[in-house]
Structure 1
Amino acid sequence: MPLLVGALVTTPPPPPAPPRPPVVRPTPINPGEYVPTFIDPDGVEWAMNPPGQEFFTLNAVTGYGITPVELITRPDPRGGVVVAGVRDLPRTLVWPVRIRDRTHLGFLARWRAIGDALAKTKRKGPGLFRLTRPDGSAREVLCHYQGGMEGEPGGGWLDDTPELSLLVPDGHWRAPEPIKIPWSSGDVDDYFAPYPMISSGDVLGDAVTVTNPGQVEAWPTWRLEGPATQLVATNNTRGQAFTIAHDLGPGEYLDITTRPGRVTDQDGEPVMGALVRPGSVLWRLDPGANDLDFAVTGGGPATRLTLSFYPRWETA
């Protein structure tokens, strides 16, 4: 008998899956590195995180934030206290490092070298600690070594991890280079332009606006180069002025430091009585614009006056 054969039914294959779009991964951003440097009182620079594994900074640094303060309070009769004032305090910069070498003598030489550089601040005055950011900008502090190189248990043979403690008396970070603004009574070149000159009548012209780009007040230093007999410097923004009265001949000069307040001559000797008292205030530059003017008497073609200051900030 004949066989009944059904029609062969075939299922068409599914369409191919669309190709997956390529995975686009963002290019990693290189955040860059900050570069710490200690500059000892002799001006020798010590990289605190140089290339290599023999000496480097650990990721446990503290003390580079907002300048610490002391709140001055008095009791409030209704409870609590009233904040009567705020006083900036020194800061302590804690900078742990690893020092090591393959041999004991190699480690010892490295250990002694950095220790000797830090110890100079005990006898020669403060060093500088500078942080340079990836964009090349930098801020620094004057600092004194106060501890950390005592050695830790189990160290001292091929390696050790001192936790350097540096006292920063000011508490604020400053620019590495001061801003300098000169004035002249004689012929000037491009160095002095566009700053005004002391006129032939011994009196500086119109008021000058000096901008402090820092975050906090700046304490300027002045240099008055003779001949001159008197300088009157006024900060119209603060409503304060000071007067320096001292006979200066050509080639002589005075340095007027507003913090701490002192006047010294070209030999570094204090000039007693040069600052006229009472009535003189060695004023500061507030953040932003400061309207100033000056008057110099007894001047001549060689008379020069230079204002310089370091902008300062709360953080590194």
Structure 2
Amino acid sequence: MPIFVAPSGTGPGGYNPPPVFPLEVPAVTWTDARGRTTELGHWENGWILQPGIRGFDMPAYQFYTDESPAIDGNALRGVRAQAREVFLPVTFFDSSRADFMSRKRSFLATLNPKLGPGTITATEVDGSTRTISAYYASGAEGDFGQDTSGMRWQTVGLTFSCPSPYWLGGSVHAEFGGTVAGNWFPLLPLTVRNPQVIGNITIDNPGDDVGFPVWTITGPITNATITNNTTGESFTISASMLSTDTLVIDTRERVQTAVLNGTTNWWPNLTTSSVLWGLTPGVNDIDLSITGSTSHTKVEVDYQPRFLTA
């Protein structure tokens, strides 16, 4: 049986916590697909993160190689970051058996992966956050040993499966209008390179890996080409839009859509040579070439930087 060690003060309802000590880590929350959020390290509210947290740093990588007879070594053909697992050992407790069981059942209900992906959020002391989409995989099956549970407390080791290996930073948004500079000046870290607002811009991606933007174009236009000069890739819209039209081009991996006014598939109106490119880490030199624009025309960009660590 572990030695009972607790910080000063008592838990909910004046009841001391289980024989564990709060871990000094960034604040960690779990939000399920329905928006229910649990602060997993909030000792005063009956939640204590335990030593053994894993999955907050680098993802694992898979290498694709070719080998040739009589030639030593191999040739590297590709590298991909693999899906990651996040492991969160957490103890929860309450002031009575009835309150504990209510807490436990309510929390475990938020782990149902059939509801859809949830979000793990890590918040640093400066208030900055990084998030990762996750599904509960295992760890809450129930272990009622003397070192893992009591009548009013329980420790579980929760394993979450994260389809993407990347932690996401806060959303970045900027707008550009079809008139002279000043009408739609971009928010940092985006800057205008010349006197035109729709023209040449730079986007400074602070992430550790490629970030994939969502472009929103409000008409009128007759055609548009958006080029990342840093990578040499571009995509072109080869159809006209009215002033009442809004086109959303989503370049994110495993999404990649072009939708007009929220309903109409506009993928056929992208030229066959189009590439829905991403933003490389660091400065990206972007050309926005819009013809047939007026003062009503607007281009918006949204993306979330992707990081290798929380």
TM range (shorter): 0.7 to 0.9
State the distance in 2 between where 1:156 and 1:302 align.
65
Q: Greater shift after overlay, 258-267 or 154-163?
A: 154-163
Given the alignment, which residue of 258, 262, 265 partners 2:257? Answer: 262
CA RMSD after TM alignment:
2.7
State the distance in 1 between where 2:159 and 2:80 align.
22
Amino acid at match of 1:300: T
> Which residue does the alignment assign to 1:40?
32
Counterparts in 2 of 1:230 and 1:90: CA distance versus 1, 3 Å: same
CA contact (8 A) 2:30 2:119 kept: yes
> Which residue does the alignment assign to 1:49?
41
> Which residue does the alignment assign to 1:295?
289
Percent identity reads 28
Amino acid at match of 1:243: T
Shift of residue 117, structure 1, vs aligned partner: 2.1
Shift of residue 53, structure 1, vs aligned partner: 6.9
Question: Within the alignment, does 1:99 sit opposite 2:71 as a pair?
Answer: no
Counterparts in 2 of 1:128 and 1:251: CA distance versus 1, 3 Å: farther
Spell out, residue by residue over 1:58-105, the C-alpha distance to the aligned partner (whole angstroms, 9 max, x if none). 111011111211011222433343333211111000111112224322
Amino acid at match of 1:237: T
Amino acid at match of 1:83: L
State the distance in 2 between where 1:272 and 1:214 align.
28
Given the alignment, which residue of 105, 123, 145 partners 1:132? Answer: 123
Shift of residue 210, structure 1, vs aligned partner: 1.3
CA contact (8 A) 1:181 1:195 kept: no
CA contact (8 A) 1:184 1:196 kept: no
Amino acid at match of 2:220: P
Shift of residue 180, structure 1, vs aligned partner: 1.3
Amino acid at match of 2:30: F
Shift of residue 50, structure 1, vs aligned partner: 0.8
Counterparts in 2 of 1:134 and 1:33: CA distance versus 1, 3 Å: farther
Amino acid at match of 2:159: S
Note the 1:158-169 alignment, pairs <5 A. 158-169=152-163
> Which residue does the alignment assign to 1:15?
none
> Which residue does the alignment assign to 1:271?
266
Question: Within the alignment, does 1:233 sit opposite 2:226 as a pair?
Answer: yes
Spell out, residue by residue over 1:99-127, the C-alpha distance to the aligned partner (whole angstroms, 9 max, x if none). 222432211111122222222x523x322
Shift of residue 274, structure 1, vs aligned partner: 2.8
TM-score by length of 2: 0.80
Counterparts in 2 of 1:116 and 1:288: CA distance versus 1, 3 Å: same
Amino acid at match of 2:260: D
Which structure would you say has the larger Rg?
1
Q: Structure 2, unaligned stretches of length 5 or more?
A: 1-22
Spell out, residue by residue over 1:132-186, the C-alpha distance to the aligned partner (whole angstroms, 9 max, x if none). 11222221111122222221134484332221111111101110x2111210115
> Which residue does the alignment assign to 1:5?
none
TM-score by length of 1: 0.79
> Which residue does the alignment assign to 2:300?
306
Counterparts in 2 of 1:64 and 1:289: CA distance versus 1, 3 Å: same
> Which residue does the alignment assign to 2:280?
286
> Which residue does the alignment assign to 1:7?
none
Amino acid at match of 2:302: S
State the distance in 2 between where 1:216 and 1:51 align.
35
Shift of residue 294, structure 1, vs aligned partner: 1.2
CA contact (8 A) 1:184 1:197 kept: no
> Which residue does the alignment assign to 2:165?
171
> Which residue does the alignment assign to 1:214?
207
